[in-house]
Structure 1
Amino acid sequence: MRKIALGLILILSFLQTGCWDAREIDELAFVLSIGLDKTDYGFKVTAQIASPETYSKTPSGSGIAQKNKPFWIITSTGKTIFEAIRNMASISSRRIFWSHIKIIVISEQLARSNTLEIFDFFTRNPELRLRTLVAVTPGNAGKILDIVPVTEKDPAVYLEKIIKNRNLTGKSYDIMLKDFIEDYLDPYVGPVTSRIIFDKSKSEPIIKTSGAYVFDHNKVSTVLSEEQTRGLLWIKNKMNSSIMVINCPYDGIPITLEIKKSKSSIKSYLDGEVPHFSINLKVDATITEQSCLTNFNDMEKLSKLKNSLEKSICKDIQSTILTAKDIQIDFPGLSSTLHRQHKKEWNQISPKWDQIFKDSKVNIAAKVTIHHVSLAKPLEPIKIQK
């Protein structure tokens, strides 16, 4: 009898405490993205918050054709990130809730000063998902969050998708908060983030991704071009797909090739304290656009085209490596390869890694296979005899 009573007490105790931290949805402000800017006295925090009322009033299939934005923007300032966020309570009747945030955008001005306080706050916040994307912009971070894109309902979804589209372009970088923090805490590796810019070359400015930012521990050090970012993706084996435009080896007219698949591997050995790295790539590509009249069904001509593409790939990687050595930041992560393959020697050279990395030797080799050549014969005008 005592066992039954004890069992009932335990069951009832679980039922009583099951919803101790419950929150009503209409009392929460769901943050979709956040922008962080520097002020003379601290931080400016801009939060893009979902508007449930606007979403619910949008007819099915109506897309963004609505009078009101499906979100609202609130901005607050403070000496610290947390103070600025808490100050939002004075302008928002709902409690700020972080579990739905998609992206953190940091202004370059702030990122070049010190980001230690930023990432300290976000790693301590239990509501924030570590899969949240991190990006830096050369302009005002808050301004980016208040622009309604043409193709999406809100900026957060748009930014998330264009950053992840680097799988198609191969010209930008994407990183989640958990991976950024992992690199951030590694004393030998420089973290890399997405770079978001305003493209003002159009009649109406648009937001786009272009290249990447390299951090030197807790602040931005360098901007990578699209080609250098592509080189970094090759090195890190993150190249899913890309478009490579090279000149025809016979007449110099541009040819477009699509990278379908790639695999990179890195091997290392030590000559005293000088590390040697061999970066080897296997790449599958197809011809997607050809203006020159060269018929690459000819194996000799196809071989020259492959050599041209291989040289272009190696050039991207070489530019990335030279930049890393010049700024003495191992953002390609070659230290991880050396540590993994030569653990004993690594313990001896790691204290001097910055200088040793600068003096390291890197050999790059790419092997390209071009598929479906027979389906990509050049279009030649038909000659009509008079």
Structure 2
Amino acid sequence: MGVVVVRDPATETPAAVRTALAEAGLAIRPVPPPAGESRPPDLSGVEGIVVLAAPRREATAEQALLRGALAADVPVLALGPGTELLAGADAVGPPSGAPRPPGHGGILLTPAADTDPLFADSPLPPELPPADGPFAPPVEAVTLAVCDGHPQQAFRLGVSAWGVRFLTGTPLDAWGERLLRRFAALVAARAEHTATRAFFTHRAGDWEERFTSQGPAYEAAVARMRLAPGSRALDLGCGTGRAMPALRAHVGAAGHVLGVDVTPAMLASAARHARDRHGHLLAADCNLLPLPGRCVHGIFSAGLLDHLPDPRAALVEWARVSAGNAVLLLFHPSGRAERAARHGRPLDPDDLLAESNLRPALEATGWRVDEYEDAPHHFLARAVLRS
């Protein structure tokens, strides 16, 4: 797993940063090359970013990298002057040695810090000096730490990017080192989701156009679910929502369709292609669905299950939200042999989708397989939840 450290080329990565990353099993990797104009940077292999450098005239690659990271929810921690690069600030405040206004007070955490993944349960020591100078974070930033005279001391952008102005990366006190270790642990814990978002965010812009021809195959697969009008259907790992029109056609106006994906950029592409006219779109983890139990009558999932780190846990979660006799349809518009040949490798006997592996996995998690097809040009497995 790799973390990009954005720093001044004339400096070394601080020892505290190297140590925190190494303890979490994370390696430091180079900054990816600049992206083309038509798509965000390719963040494949980038599990997190630490920003230590202030904005520079020639920092366009770093700026593109951070824009892509924010879009893909790649974890980012910016310290000291790096917060200006993260926030996209145009003006640099006074140097760190500039006089502070009288009565600046100490740094205080805000109520938002109480539930923040990095700041919760981590009270600040009173002796920490605040950062100097004016600072204007983006309007959507959540303030996590303030001080009189220089109110914006730490903030969060979205769910995965943090800026801490009063820490510079070197030297760090015990509190700063603990924050670094927390960030490194968070990067390692989210690595699987980060990799997925990074891969698909880079490709979301033209994903639909590349696979338009697969529409009829999706329609035929959805028809195999045999959903009744008025049913509630999920499209898990929905991507651009290619199955949603067919799901809506089967459940009718009285039914409900929900497309779930972990990559916001894919859901944005689904909305651009008007898939939200056929149902709701939701950014969520398919292993932890924000749904009550026994509420779904059908689950459609294309090309997802065998890419999950714990497929059995996912099948248990899908069973939890499914009503008795609900249908699960696993689909791919290519057969297993066709995909293996395309990647220049033989069929893997340990492949989860091999019938000898998939049937036991489904049976052990409450599903009964009633159809299995590994055809030359599609893969399909239909299972019913045992009531």
TM-score, structure 2 as length reference: 0.25
Larger Rg belongs to: 1
TM-score, structure 1 as length reference: 0.25
- Greater percentage in strand: 1
